[in-house]
Amino acid sequence: MKALFAASVLVLAALPALAAEPDGLTLPSGFHASVVAEGLGPVRHLAFRPNGDLFLSTPRARTGLGGGIIALHLDADHKVSGEPKHFGAVDGGTGIGFYRGALYAATPSRIYRYNFKGNALLPDPEPQVVVDGMPATGNANRGIAFDDKGGIFVGVTATAADACNVPAPRGTTPVGVRPCKDLEGRSGIWRFSATRLNQNFADGERIATGFRDSTALAWLGGGLYGFFHGTDGTSRAFPKLVTPAEDAQIADELIHLTKGTDIGWPYTYYDGVRKMRMTTPEFGGDGKTAASGGNYAVPVLTFQAGRVAPLDLVAYNGTQFPAEYRGGAFVPTHGTGGQVANGHNGYNVYFVPVSKDGQVGEPKIFADGFADSNSAGGKAKYRPVGAAVAPDGSLYVAESNKGRVWRITYGDAK
């Protein structure tokens, strides 16, 4: 059994760095940041090729720039060498990752595989289709992850914004639709072979169901884990049932995903302070009573205080960082519109310890200072969005406002 642990977003602060870091970042003692790239636009996830080339997905195909993936060649000083290259037609710009030397990238409807010749920065011009037929309408987020047995997982988000409602006339409260149609062919995690081409979405193995939005999937400690976003605006829609303070307790959940996992959306949400799953008001909940009638997942960790929006979950498989970081995971949090940065409502990178058997420990803020106390929502100076571990064990972090990328090293690493 995996040990369960829930934690508030108000966790241990990062220790001050020994020297001033670029852009006002703060890191634990012994760590240092440097700027690698900037001006890349609204990037999303990152992936390193084993030879050290860095690839970034973008939220949409970049018209006029040649596609939706950015390729960067880094020189011996870890700076971008030459102009960024753009390729592919990856529209949606979420999940990318390397497996057996090939780059996998998800669009709303397909997962592609890009093959490389030698050390060429750009892959073959025609990608191979690994999975086809995913539902392309609605929310385009598609996070991916690989297991240790040749499988690739993909998360297909819901179309509904929050709770699968009937449109409510002005001045009335929303009513949920049961059964929610999003649960039939999306709002779940599917597994496919990472090595077989031209698979159909209908042939995939469904692993989990019941979530609204997620781009953060990773294989940690021998199992699949994912962060799932809680619903927004519950107090605004049901002010007599859920106070603003209680709304802020609706958690983003880290779930250990196994066959048959039900995360509970849209019928439930998880209160990270009360540590119990509640029925949503749209489906008869009163904001006080625990949900019943379903075998719903219990999160191993929660972030609340206004939904910090974890957008990536990155296993640390390097050896440059101290031993306590190895096997754990880094979590960039993007923040949500209207939530202030003061109090750590997003705009951070967290570290989450994970043991070899999958036990999840208490998170702590690893990198801070991306937004000051006067920042809110998209007005934050920098919004962390993705991370990746380089072949040398350093950590790269990207943000989505300006397309800036930092490299974080430990000790005397160059």
Check which CATH number belongs to the domain holding 386 and give it.
2.120.10.30
Please tell me the predicted confidence (pLDDT) of residue 57.
Answer: 92
Q: Which range of residues forms the domain containing residue 67? A: 22-410
Question: Do residues 55 and 46 lie in contact, with contact meaning Cβ atoms separated by under 8 Å?
Answer: yes
Model confidence over 248-281: pLDDT tens digits? 899 999 999 999 999 999 999 999 999 999 999 9
Neighbours of 198 (CB within 10 A): 9
- State the DSSP H helix or E strand holding residue 165, giving kind and residue range, or none if neither: strand 165-166
Q: What are phi and psi of 364, to 5 degrees?
A: -140, 155
Q: How many angstroms separate the CA atoms of 320 and 411, rounded?
A: 9
Find the mean pLDDT for residues 74-101: 87
Residue 6 inside a domain? The answer is no
Model confidence over 132-190: pLDDT tens digits? 999 988 888 899 999 999 999 999 999 877 778 887 777 788 899 999 999 999 999 99
pLDDT tier for residue 304 given thresholds of 50, 70 and 90: confident
Residue 49 inside a domain? The answer is yes
Q: Which residue has the higher pLDDT, 13 or 381?
A: 381
Residue 347 inside a domain? The answer is yes
Q: Which residues of 56-75 are buried (b: 16+ CB within 10 A; e: fewer)?
A: bbbbebbeeeebbbbbbbbe
Find the mean pLDDT for residues 19-40: 92
Please tell me the predicted confidence (pLDDT) of residue 365.
Answer: 94
Whether 394 has a pLDDT exceeding 90, the answer reads yes
- The tokens describing 306, both together, are 């206004």
Please tell me the predicted confidence (pLDDT) of residue 341.
Answer: 39
Residue 397 inside a domain? The answer is yes
Question: Do residues 211 and 263 lie in contact, with contact meaning Cβ atoms separated by under 8 Å?
Answer: yes
Please tell me the predicted confidence (pLDDT) of residue 376.
Answer: 54
Residue 71 inside a domain? The answer is yes
Question: Do residues 237 and 272 lie in contact, with contact meaning Cβ atoms separated by under 8 Å?
Answer: no
Please tell me the predicted confidence (pLDDT) of residue 294.
Answer: 85
Whether 77 has a pLDDT exceeding 70, the answer reads yes
pLDDT tier for residue 110 given thresholds of 50, 70 and 90: very high
pLDDT tier for residue 308 given thresholds of 50, 70 and 90: confident
- Amino acid identity of 78? H
Question: Do residues 45 and 54 lie in contact, with contact meaning Cβ atoms separated by under 8 Å?
Answer: no
Please tell me the predicted confidence (pLDDT) of residue 321.
Answer: 98
Whether 200 has a pLDDT exceeding 50, the answer reads yes
pLDDT tier for residue 288 given thresholds of 50, 70 and 90: very high
Number of domains in the chain: 1
Q: How many angstroms separate the CA atoms of 64 and 86, rounded?
A: 10
Whether 340 has a pLDDT exceeding 80, the answer reads no
Residue 16 inside a domain? The answer is no
Query: What is the C-alpha end-to-end distance of the chain, expressed in Å?
Result: 41
Q: How many angstroms separate the CA atoms of 342 and 347, rounded?
A: 10
Q: Which residue has the higher pLDDT, 9 or 210?
A: 210
Find the mean pLDDT for residues 31-36: 96
pLDDT tier for residue 91 given thresholds of 50, 70 and 90: low
Find the mean pLDDT for residues 73-87: 92
4-18, 210-224, 310-324: the lowest-pLDDT one: 4-18
Q: Which residue has the higher pLDDT, 86 or 172?
A: 86
